[in-house]
Amino acid sequence: MKANEIREEFLNFFRTKEHRIVPSAPMVIKNDPTLMFTNAGMNQFKDIFLGNHPAAYKRIANSQKCLRVSGKHNDLEEVGLDTYHHTMFEMLGNWSFGDYFKKEAIEWAWEFLTSRLGIPQERIYATVFEGDSEEDVPRDDEAADHWGRCFASPENHILNGSKKDNFWEMGETGPCGPCSEIHVDIRSDEERAARPGHLLVNTGHPQVIEIWNLVFIQYNRRAGGELELLPEKHVDTGMGFERLCMVIQDKKSNYDTDIFQPLIAASAVVTGKPYGGSQARDTAHRVIADHLRTVAFSIADGQLPSNNKAGYVIRRILRRAVRYGYTSLEMTEPFIHKLLPSLIESMGDQYPELSAQQEIITRVIFEEEQAFLKTLGKGLKMIERRVAALRKEGKNIFPGSDAFELFDTYGFPVDLTQLIMRENNMTLDEEAFRRELNTQKERSRDDAAVTAGDWVVVHDVENTLFTGYDRTEDNITIARYRKVVSRGKEAIHLVFDKTPFYAESGGQTGDRGFISSGSEKVAVTDTVRENNLIIHIAEKLPGNLSASFRAVVDSEARQDTSNNHTATHLMHHALREVIGKHVEQKGSLVTPERLRFDFSHFSQVTQEELAAVEQRVNEMIMKNIVSEVYHDTPMEQALAMGAIALFGEKYGEKVRVVSFGESVELCGGTHVESTSRIGIFKITSEGAVAAGVRRIEAVTGRRALSFINEKLKTLDQITGMLRSTGNPAANITKLINENTALKNTIEKMRVEAAAAVRSELTARAVTRGSCRIYSGVLEETPPETLKTIAHQIRQSDGTSIVILGSAIEGKASLVVALGEEAAESSHLDAVELIKAVSPEISGGGGGQPFMATAGGKRPEGLNEAVDKAVALAQKRL
RNA sequence: GGGGAUUUAGCUCAGUUGGUCAGAGCACCUGCCUUGCACGCAGGGGGUCAAGGGUUCGACUCCCUUAAUCUCCA
């Protein structure tokens, strides 16, 4: 059976069991700092289990894209080395929310595996929770009974499992329960006869593997640690799709299934290196196949590779693939992007977002590959230089600090450094490298450690209510607080029962303002979000914590921010109108000062297009379109309203829809009541930010007004200076042309004048021994010219000692220059000389031994200074 | 969140302890050479040295702030 058929079979099977089939949630998670990527099938249903909102359907099944590359589950460095680790995988799952429980979950799992997929039951093993006396939880006999009715001969096929393997918990607190895992033995008959499978379950044997975990959520873990029975019981299951395919297709490796083989085959063709036979090459092909999947899906989900957070994780994954291609497959040119068609061919049907965004995915990957290859090239050059230097000194140990600098600052992989060392018969001081890395780790940990103190609860409040959509002031009480120390500065985090303060989210920066009670007033400098907590960052702790406070948002800043946020929506809409529907948001920043919007587009936005977009937005502003906001709208309904679906929305989630006429977006931010509040919209810059992504920055309202006024002021100044009512641009062009002509003339004259001055100085020059002293005070000569003249003299006459002074604009300047022969024979030092005489002009100076300059505030002393310098020079000759 | 680095001509980058230091290559323009193209030769235009402050007689260079980008750690 092909992989696509297996997936289809799973979904169809549960469809017949009255399950609602839902699409996979995006892999990239927004607005949850504890989790960057979806790492399990149940992520998108977390809120249902937590009881935060009811399930829209009692039975659901799906295939969920998951990523395990950060945090607790980090498989990245394992991928490729073996046959079963992945960064991205699909999780097949079926769920019951307060509906069916253990009986059906077990029976259906059994039916699906044995009847639908035809896995022989003697190869199947089921584990059940053995119980825990400390927790006072008995063995899961209920599950064992159901399994007992499935197997024809249950002995040795139903096994007890420990708390570690068979009791599932979401976190420290919250829903949890026993689980039952299904393992499959895919060894040959001989091997199975020699050693029964039940002895190998949960021992890490690569061919006796867990494929499905059925979790029975029946308890709630309370803060004190005790378990209480839940009124509603849930089922949460997850089956690794790639593993399942390996079992069904009778392969020994996930990478041998038809999920990966087309990709690996394409990789072999593009690189010209076959798969099979060479460990290094095979590893590289597997790495590339796995990582391409991950990166392509992430980009399709709206997460571009970037320099921080989730985007940086994606960048590193891609770079790991490039690195393997570079070292093991000798690929020095971008090639991974060429494999995309193969991925689309095998997965495009199930995940249409891939083909829909093929162009941008290809471009982004190509650009990233190129950038990293460049980084590698730079690193190689640096290493070559170091190696050459070390060779000169006769050393053959490459310092760890150098390797660390290459790695830390320039991103050059250390294993590549090692490889190059081997090629050069040198060794890397790994010990020192690790030391440097550890000090960096400690530094980061220290920083993280001092940050947050424990929360102190004042009033028990479950969820802060955000009241800031329609007001900027409210009466609040403090729910909890904590002290946070960072870089020696103490700040206070406050959580209220309700708040008008908007917490930074969705690109919109947090509100600032103050809270007050009686005579006390505490400033709130920023507002941030941590999971569902809205945290107000205050400069100090209020005196009376239990008092009632007036919370006041800086309404001017808020208004400016709202202006910018609404303008962002209008511009998004206008961009799609003017340059096309391919425009999709790739990033957004909204502050009181400005707005910044990144979006997919493949060429420069022309002046005309920018003007049209600006024009269109201003039209919408002038039309005074009134906002329509729908809170708690089901996702499906929002999409039906024509909302531009952004990323990070989960199935079943209630969303907030903000619309201004034709502009309809899902958005949690604050907006103006009607577009005319924005006043004016003005684009200030446009540029590239990554391959296929452009960035526009703009301002609104009073900021736009002052931006425009600044420009007009400059224009006024220009036309004023031109003293002409005609076209200033034409006038200036004329002026520039005249100016260049004049400059050329002046340059010529200056050369002549300098020559004249020179000849005058030459005429007055005095010979002393083997040197000639040129001296004098010139009139109104700028320091640069003075230098030029002195320089010319010292070049034309090697025996010259030049001492010149000049006053201009109330400032005095001196220059001393020595011709080459003069410098040698006289042992004079220009710096010494100029320092000796510069006090005469109330200044100081310096330079090089053959040429020094000085400046001062007393032009009257110029003659004195020059005379003194001449006298000093003469004395030394 | 913390550390390191980068920002100089349209592009890729040099620029030493502050002082004839604003440069190179490519690209561009003009002319010559060539049947044409590429090459070659000669000449030329193009810079708020990221932005804003400060120190200094003098700042691309030192200090501070800000922004963007790169990179490592958490």
Tell me: the pLDDT tens digits for A684-735?
Answer: 888 777 767 788 889 999 889 888 887 787 777 777 777 777 777 777 767 7
pLDDT of residue A72: 57
Between residue 220 and residue 249 of chain A, the positions with Cβ below 7 Å from nucleic chain B are none
Q: Which residues are registered as beta bridge partners of A237?
A: A214
Q: Where are the beta strands (DSSP E) in A222-350?
A: 227-240
Whole-number Å distance between alpha carbons of A839 and A836: 7
Q: Which residues are registered as beta bridge partners of A167?
A: A178
Using CB atoms within 10 Å of the CB of residue A659, give its burial: 0 to 12 exposed, 13 to 18 middle, 19+ buried: buried
Minimum-distance nucleotide, CA of A446 to C1': B2
Whole-number Å distance between alpha carbons of A289 and A704: 49
Q: How far is CA A402 from CA A156, A316, A373, A427, A435, in A?
A: 58, 22, 20, 13, 12
Which of A77-81, A612-616, A824-828, A845-849 is the most confident on average? A612-616
- Which is higher by pLDDT, A389 or A493? A493
Is the predicted pLDDT of residue A651 greater than 60, yes or no? no
pLDDT of residue A309: 78
Q: Is residue A258 within 8 Å of A244, Cβ to Cβ?
A: no
Burial track A27-55 (b if 16+ CB lie within 10 A, e otherwise): bbbbeeeeebbbbbbbbbbbbbbeeeeeb
* Residues whose CB falls within 8 Å of the CB of residue A72, separated by 6 or more in sequence, listed in order: none
Say how far A847 CA is from B59 C1', in Å. Answer: 14
Tens digit of each residue's pLDDT (9 = 90 or more) over A746-773: 666 666 777 777 788 888 888 888 888 8
Is the predicted pLDDT of residue A275 greater than 80, yes or no? yes
Strand B proximal to A740 Cβ, under 7 A? yes
- Which is higher by pLDDT, A614 or A800? A614
Q: Is residue A255 within 8 Å of A85, Cβ to Cβ?
A: no
Between residue 263 and residue 292 of chain A, the positions with Cβ below 7 Å from nucleic chain B are none
Strand B proximal to A408 Cβ, under 7 A? yes
Helices (H) and strands (E) in chain A, counts: 25, 35
Whole-number Å distance between alpha carbons of A494 and A513: 13
pLDDT of residue A653: 67
Say how far A505 CA is from B68 C1', in Å. Answer: 22
Strand B proximal to A487 Cβ, under 7 A? yes
Is the predicted pLDDT of residue A501 greater than 90, yes or no? yes
Q: Are strands A498-499 and A465-466 parallel, antiparallel or unpaired?
A: parallel
pLDDT of residue A487: 55
Is the predicted pLDDT of residue A587 greater than 90, yes or no? no
One DSSP character per residue, A326-338 reads: HHHS---S--GGG
pLDDT of residue A161: 93
Is the predicted pLDDT of residue A650 greater than 60, yes or no? no
Of the candidate ranges A172-186, A438-452, A593-607, the one whose mean pLDDT is the lowest: A438-452
Q: Where are the beta strands (DSSP E) in A222-325?
A: 227-240
One DSSP character per residue, A263-328 reads: HHHHHHHHHT--SSS-HHHHHHHHHHHHHHHHHHHHHHTT----SSHHHHHHHHHHHHHHHHHHHH
Query: What one-letter code names the amino acid at A92?
Result: L
- Closest C-alpha among A484, A594, A486 to residue A538: A484
Between residue 604 and residue 633 of chain A, the positions with Cβ below 7 Å from nucleic chain B are none
Q: Is residue A659 within 8 Å of A640, Cβ to Cβ?
A: no
Radius of gyration of chain A (CA): 37
| Locus of tokens 């990070």 | A648
Whole-number Å distance between alpha carbons of A115 and A102: 19
Q: What is the dihedral of CA A29, A35, A41, A44, to 10 degrees?
A: -50
Percentage of chain A modeled with pLDDT above 70: 94
Strand B proximal to A372 Cβ, under 7 A? yes
Whole-number Å distance between alpha carbons of A653 and A648: 10
Whole-number Å distance between alpha carbons of A120 and A241: 18
Minimum-distance nucleotide, CA of A851 to C1': B19
Q: Is residue A38 within 8 Å of A238, Cβ to Cβ?
A: no
Is the predicted pLDDT of residue A741 greater than 70, yes or no? no
Q: Which nucleotides of B are covered by protein (CB under 7 A)?
A: 1-5, 13, 19-20, 45-46, 56-58, 68-74
Say how far A377 CA is from B31 C1', in Å. Answer: 40
Strand B proximal to A556 Cβ, under 7 A? no
Q: What is the mean predicted confidence (pLDDT) over A147-173?
A: 90
Tokens of A860: 């009257």
Strand B proximal to A845 Cβ, under 7 A? yes
pLDDT classification of A30: cutoffs 50, 70, 90 = low
Is the predicted pLDDT of residue A665 greater than 60, yes or no? yes
Minimum-distance nucleotide, CA of A443 to C1': B2
Q: What is the mean predicted confidence (pLDDT) over A583-601?
A: 86
Say how far A227 CA is from B58 C1', in Å. Answer: 77
Q: What is the dihedral of CA A336, A342, A348, A351, to 10 degrees?
A: -40
Q: Is residue A105 within 8 Å of A235, Cβ to Cβ?
A: yes
Q: Are strands A69-70 and A73-74 parallel, antiparallel or unpaired?
A: antiparallel
- Which is higher by pLDDT, A110 or A525? A110
Average pLDDT across chain A, whole number: 86
pLDDT of residue A629: 95
Of the candidate ranges A39-43, A134-138, A230-234, the one whose mean pLDDT is the lowest: A39-43
Strand B proximal to A507 Cβ, under 7 A? no
Tokens of A168: 């599932």
Which of A18-27, A372-381, A815-824 is the most confident on average? A18-27
CA angle A750, A751, A754 (to 5 degrees): 80
pLDDT classification of A737: cutoffs 50, 70, 90 = low
**Element spanning A475, H or E:** strand A473-486
Tens digit of each residue's pLDDT (9 = 90 or more) over A355-410: 888 888 888 888 888 888 888 877 887 787 788 778 878 888 888 888 898 888 88
Q: Is residue A578 within 8 Å of A615, Cβ to Cβ?
A: no
Minimum-distance nucleotide, CA of A843 to C1': B57
| Locus of tokens 């007393």 | A858
- Closest C-alpha among A452, A413, A207, A421 to residue A324: A413
Q: Is residue A653 within 8 Å of A666, Cβ to Cβ?
A: no
